[in-house]
Amino acid sequence: MKKLVLLFLLAFRGWVGFSQSDTGSSLPAASGGSYALVAGGSKGIGYGIAEALAKRGYNLILIARHLDTLQAAKKKLESAHPIHVDILAIDLSFEKSADEIAKWCKDRDIHLKVLCNVAGLGGSKDYLSFPLDSLRYMVRLNIESCMALSLTLMPLLEKNAPSYILNVASMAGFAPIPVKNLYSATKSAVVFFSYSLRYQLKDKHISVSCLCPGPVFTKPEIVKDTKQKLGWFGMKMALDPGTVGEVAVKKTLKKKLIIVPGGLAKISAFVIRLLPRRWVVALYGRAGKKKK
Amino acid sequence: MSWALIAGGSKGIGYAVSEALGRRGYDILLVARDGQALAAAKSKLESHMPVRVETFAADLSLPASAGDIANWCRDNAFDLNILCHVAGMGGAKDYLRLPVSELNRMVSVNFVSPMSLTLSMLPMLQKNAPSFILNTASLAGFAPFPFKNVYSATKSAVLFFSYSLRNQLREKNISVSCLCPGPVFTKPAIEDETRKKLGWFGSQMAIEAGALGEMAVRQMMNGRMIIVPGRLSFLVSVLLRLLPAGILARVLSEKPTANLTDTI
């Protein structure tokens, strides 16, 4: 009997999880002069998102640490799309960065419609193999910068409503991954933050989405790491940043809350969220110990 | 006898945890911000238990604190094998009602501090194994509570951290537990508020700090991972974990239950 009830609840949970997609009025293309800000937009998933936004006619503000990669991104985007790209070389891990960015936008009265928090730090080094300073940097970049930028840019987004916030978490935010301890914990905070923010901002007509991708091949190391730890299945699940960006932007503009690109990743995410956490942790723990 | 360190141990849940450890014969190291509260806790503990109590005043939101505390333990040869992190920050004000600096401080106290302190103390805990680590999350770590947005997010991070850490440290014979309480009557204000806003259900779910500390320590010593004190809180925690986050966030964001989130 107990098992039956549990099974029913699990099935219910699964069904709700899948059917829960708000398909509100879609707003695919930008009207002239609309801007999208992509924090961490010079490379990887951020660049993929920037490209998908450019395709839809949004002017862009790209933020990253290094000016040279920003300039390269600007050149590439402006040559392929009839849009304007602004670039700001700012380290998002500083507490004052969010205020600086908001001031920059306010001074120019930017017609901001979309905010994408993509900047993040993660990798094969994590808790127990990373110095404390780097771990703190990870928290600042993954959680604090995302919360701060959403807060400081809120007045602009509110003014230009309906508007959109896209936070980038990861599938690692659905269940704890021991070898990616801190990364996974920070991403779960981003997932929670996005859920809460969505309901806090509902009345202000700002839609909040959270991108939770599986492996994305943004660097050669990730290809190697995925092959080693997740094997054949991981390779099948992985996507390129262009595809991820396109799916992310499409679903964000459709006001979907949780975005998991890719069929296999979607199924994996579904299973991960359904199973009891300690099972998933044990499974991840075993996979993480695999060496070559 | 060995030492136990309680970060945030001068008042509330932390003090109750210290008391429960003292009752089991552990010598106590208390860390908190307020020197006066520390002195009061020390004299209270020593007056009714045959334990040694040492105190260290440190602001756990500062990055340097974890290293300072570890050095203090090493210099005084406090060989500890229990580390409890109970310090936390939360309240009625959260995202949209706090400035960025306060939100960052909440992230620091609730999440970065246990993570840093654990890493700094790990060599000592490993040397004195079998050892125990107790982190403090909350029922709000099981599901997103929109009105306690950042608090809830940091507590989820603590929960994730604890799960992963337990797996990482198992072979080193260090047991990791995570305390996830519902409403706890640590201050008269919370008691009033819970009674007023949650009514009978809230009062039934709420627990008094002393009982909570005792339960937390007993279950930590038994090597339990998730500790939810109180039968009703446990039931609520099962629902929070089982139901989809989207539905919970929606339900919890509606006005009548918004009051509930103010007390947890």
- Burial grade of B92 (CB within 10 A; 0-12, 13-18, 19 or more): exposed
Predicted confidence pLDDT, tens digits, chain A (292 residues)? 444 444 444 454 444 444 344 443 444 466 568 999 999 999 999 999 999 999 999 999 999 999 999 999 999 999 999 999 999 999 999 999 999 999 999 999 999 999 999 999 988 889 999 999 999 999 999 999 999 999 999 999 999 989 999 999 999 999 999 999 999 999 999 999 999 999 999 999 999 999 999 989 888 888 888 888 778 888 888 899 999 999 999 999 999 999 999 999 999 999 999 998 889 999 888 887 765 4
Mutate to test the interface with A, among B160, B165, B248 (most CBs of A within 10 A): B160
Among the partner-chain residues A182, A202, A277, the one whose CB lies closest to the CB of B115 is: A182
Number of other CB atoms surrounding residue A99 within 10 Å: 16
Number of other CB atoms surrounding residue A285 within 10 Å: 19
Q: What is the DSSP letter of B79?
A: -
Mutate to test the interface with B, among A99, A191, A195 (most CBs of B within 10 A): A195
Distances (CA, A) of B228 to A176, B137, B141, B233, B236: 19, 10, 12, 7, 10
Contact call for residues A208 and A167 (beta carbons, < 8 A): yes
Phi, psi of B187 (to 5 degrees): -135, 150
CA-based nearest residue in chain B for residue A189: B153
Q: Which domains does chain A have, with CATH numbers?
A: 28-289 (3.40.50.720)
> Residue B217, SS3?
helix
Size of interface A-B (CB pairs under 8 A): 166
Rounded CA-CA distance B229/A278 in Å is 19
Rounded CA-CA distance B173/A129 in Å is 19
Cα distance from A134 to chain B (closest Cα, Å)? 11
Cβ pair A139:B144 closer than 8 A: no
Q: What number is the ipTM of this complex?
A: 0.92
- Measured between beta carbons, the chain B residues lying within 8 angstroms of A177 are 164
Contact call for residues A169 and A211 (beta carbons, < 8 A): yes
Cβ pair B152:A190 closer than 8 A: no
In sequence order, the 6+-apart residues with CB closer than 8 A to the CB of B60 are: B7, B8, B31, B33, B87, B108, B109, B113, B117
Cβ pair A281:B150 closer than 8 A: no
Per-residue DSSP letters for A79-120? Answer: HHSS--EEEEE--TTSTTHHHHHHHHHHHTT--EEEEEE---
**Which B residues 152-211 touch A at CB under 8 Å?**
152-154, 156-161, 163-168
For domain B3-263, the CATH superfamily is: NAD(P)-binding Rossmann-like Domain (3.40.50.720)
Amino acid making up residue A38? V
Specify the pLDDT at position B17. Answer: 97
Number of other CB atoms surrounding residue A289 within 10 Å: 11
Q: Does A80 touch chain B (CB under 8 A)?
A: no
Contact call for residues B40 and B10 (beta carbons, < 8 A): yes
Mutate to test the interface with B, among A186, A192, A206, A259 (most CBs of B within 10 A): A192
Q: Does A211 touch chain B (CB under 8 A)?
A: no
Rounded CA-CA distance B70/B158 in Å is 21
In sequence order, the 6+-apart residues with CB closer than 8 A to the CB of B184 are: B12, B13, B190, B206, B207, B208, B209, B212
Specify the pLDDT at position A42. Answer: 94
Among the partner-chain residues B100, B165, B168, the one whose CB lies closest to the CB of A148 is: B100
Rounded CA-CA distance B170/B133 in Å is 12
- Measured between beta carbons, the chain A residues lying within 8 angstroms of B65 are none
Q: Does A78 touch chain B (CB under 8 A)?
A: no
- Measured between beta carbons, the chain B residues lying within 8 angstroms of A146 are none
Q: Buried b vs exposed e over B126-159: b needs ≥16 C-beta within 10 Å?
A: eebeebbbbbbbbbbbbbbbbbbbbbbbbbbbbb
Specify the pLDDT at position B111. Answer: 97
Specify the pLDDT at position B187. Answer: 76
Number of other CB atoms surrounding residue B236 within 10 Å: 20
How many Å from the N-terminal Cα to the C-terminal Cα in chain A? 44
Rounded CA-CA distance A190/B113 in Å is 18
Which tokens in the block code for residue B25?
């014969």
Specify the pLDDT at position B92. Answer: 80
Specify the pLDDT at position A14. Answer: 43
Rounded CA-CA distance A154/B84 in Å is 38
Specify the pLDDT at position B200. Answer: 76
**Which A residues 117-156 touch B at CB under 8 Å?**
127-128, 132, 135-136, 139, 143-144, 147-148, 151-152, 154
Q: Does B15 touch chain A (CB under 8 A)?
A: no
Q: Does A11 touch chain B (CB under 8 A)?
A: no
Cβ pair B242:A139 closer than 8 A: no
Mutate to test the interface with B, among A20, A127, A183, A196 (most CBs of B within 10 A): A196
> Residue A179, SS3?
helix
Which of the residues in chain B have pLDDT under 50? 256-264
Q: Shortest CA distance to B149 belongs to which of B55, B252, B240, B226?
A: B252
